[in-house]
Amino acid sequence: MKITIIIIVLSILLVIYIIKRAVDYHKDQIAILKRKIELEQKKAEKNLEKLQNRKDTIKRITGNMSEGVVMLDANADIVSANASALNIFDIKDEIKGVNIIELLRELKLLEYAHKAVEGETSDALMNRNGRIYDVRFSPSQGASQPRGAILLFLDITEKHESEKLRREFSANVSHELKTPLTNISGNAEMLAAGVVSEADKPEFYNRIYDESRRMTTLVDDIMYLSRLDEKSELREKESVNLYEILSEVKKNLSEKAEKGNVSIAICETDFSVTGDRNMLYELFFNLIENAVKYNVDGGKVEVIAAKNIVTISDTGIGIPEESLPFIFDRFYRVDRSRSKKTGGTGLGLAIVKHIAALHNAEISVKSVVSTGTKIYIVFN
C-alpha cells in the first residue's frame, strides 16, 4: 500500500515535471518568436523610413525640375506630379489618384501613356497654352516595383521656333539666290547661243554684272548676319565717338546721295557709345543708306545725336503702317522691285536689329507715307 502511494506520488511529480518542462520550452519558443517579430518590425520600420526618404528625395529633385514629371500607376492614375507639371496643365487642386485622361485629352498621347504602363517607351509633341512640349513616355516598373509609367514634359518652344526660323531663312536664302542665278545663266545662254545682236550685247553684259554684284552683296549680308547670330554678347568694346562714325558714313554715301539729289546733314555732337566700332558703323550705314535710297528727288536726311538718342529723319517715300511690324524681318521689303533696283537685299534692317540688341539699344520707327520716316535708336 505504502509502495503504491509512493509510486502514485512519484508519477504525479513526474507529470508535473514534464508539464513544467513543456511550459518552459514553449515559453522559450514564444520569447524567440517575440524577438523575431520585434526584429522584423524594426526592419519593416527601417525599410519604410528608407522608402519615405527616397520618396522625399524624388519629390525634392522633381520639385526643382523645370521639366514636368508625372508618375502613373498600373491603372494610369496619377501617383505624383511635380510643380512644373501642375503649371503646364494649369492645375491648382489635388491631382493624386486622378486618371491621366484628365490631363492628356489627345487620343494619341493617351495611347502612349497606356503603352508606357504596359512597358513601351514613346515620344510625342504636345501643344498646350501656346507652348510646345516634347513628351517622353517611359515604363517605370522594375524587379521590385509594381507596373507604372513616368511622363516627362520638356518645353521646347524656343528651340522649335528657332529651328522653324532657321528653316525659313534657308528656304529664303535659296529663293533669293536662285533669282540672280537664273538671270545670269539665262543671259549668258543667249549670248553663247549667238542670238544677241552686237548692239544689245552691252546690255546683256551689264545685266550679268549687276546680277552677280547683287549675289555678292546678298552672300556678304547673309554671312555677316550668320556671324552676328553666333554672338550673344560683344567681346571687344571701346568708347566710340558717334560723330566720327556718322561723318564717315556720310562721306561714303555722298556719291549715292548726290545721284539721288538727296542731302545728308549731321548735327555735331560729342556723344560716345561703348561698343564695337565696326558694328556701329554698319548699323548707321544701313539706316542712313535706307534714308537716302527710299527718298525722293531733292529730299533730305537729317541725323541728330543728342544725349543717348540718335534720330535719323528723312523726307522720303515713308513706310505704310501695316508694313511697320515687319521691316526688321529678314528679306522683308515693302516694295520688292524698288529695293532690288537700289541694290537692297532685305537684310539691312535685320542686321541693324541684331547690332542694336548687342549694344543694348532700342529702335523705334515712325513713318508717314509720302512724308518721311524717323528712326530712333536709344542707347541704354
User: Which residues are near ligand ADP by CB under 6 A?
Assistant: 286, 290-291, 294, 314, 316-319, 327, 332-335, 339, 344-350, 373
Cα(78)–Cα(258) distance, integer angstroms: 74
Cβ 294 to ligand ADP, closest distance in Å?
3
Identity of the residue, 139 or 316, whose beta carbon is nearer to ligand ADP in the bound complex: 316
- Specify the residue, 257 or 319, whose C-beta has the smaller distance to ligand ADP: 319
CB 316, min distance to ligand ADP, A: 5
What per-residue string of b and e applies to 339-349 under the rule 16 or more CB within 10 Å gives b? bbeeebbbbbb
Q: Where are the alpha helices (DSSP H) in the chain?
A: 2-63, 83-88, 107-117, 157-192, 201-230, 242-259, 277-293, 336-341, 348-358
Closest CA relative to residue 292, chosen from 372, 226, 354:
372
Residue entry with cell 562721306: 251
Q: What is the DSSP string of 293-343?
A: HT--TT-EEEEEEETTEEEEEE-SS---GGGGGGTTSTT--SSHHHHHHTT
Q: How far is the CB of 209 from ligand ADP (least distance, A)?
A: 19
Q: Which is nearer to ligand ADP, 68 or 221 (CB)?
A: 221
CB nearer to ligand ADP: pick between 76 and 246: 246
CB of 379 vs ligand ADP, minimal distance in Å: 20
Classified as helix, coil or strand, 239 is strand
362 grid coordinates:
532700342
Distance in Å, CB of 191 to ligand ADP, minimum:
29
**C-beta closer to ligand ADP: residue 128 or 330:** 330
For the CB of residue 341, give the shortest distance to ligand ADP in the complex, in Å: 10
Q: 355 - beta bridge partners?
A: none
Q: Are 71 and 150 in contact (CB under 8 A)?
A: yes
Would you say 139 or 180 has its CB closer to ligand ADP?
Answer: 180
In the complex, the smallest distance separating the C-beta of residue 98 from ligand ADP, rounded to whole angstroms, is 52
Phi–psi pair at 218, nearest 5 degrees: -60, -50
Cross-strand partners of 134: 125, 154
Report d(CA 311, CA 115) in Å as an integer: 62
Q: How far apart are CA 112 and CA 136, in angstroms?
A: 9
Residue 136 or 366: the one with the smaller Cβ distance to ligand ADP is: 366
Considering beta carbons, is residue 135 or 347 the nearer one to ligand ADP? 347
Compute the distance between CA of residue 4 and CA of residue 344 in angstroms, rounded to an integer.
136
Strand pairing class (300-306; 263-266): parallel
- What's the sign of the alpha-carbon dihedral 264, 267, 269, 275? negative
Q: CB 195 → ligand ADP: shortest distance, Å?
A: 33
User: With respect to ligand ADP, which residue has the nearer C-beta, 58 or 296?
Assistant: 296
Q: How far is the CB of 373 from ligand ADP (least distance, A)?
A: 4
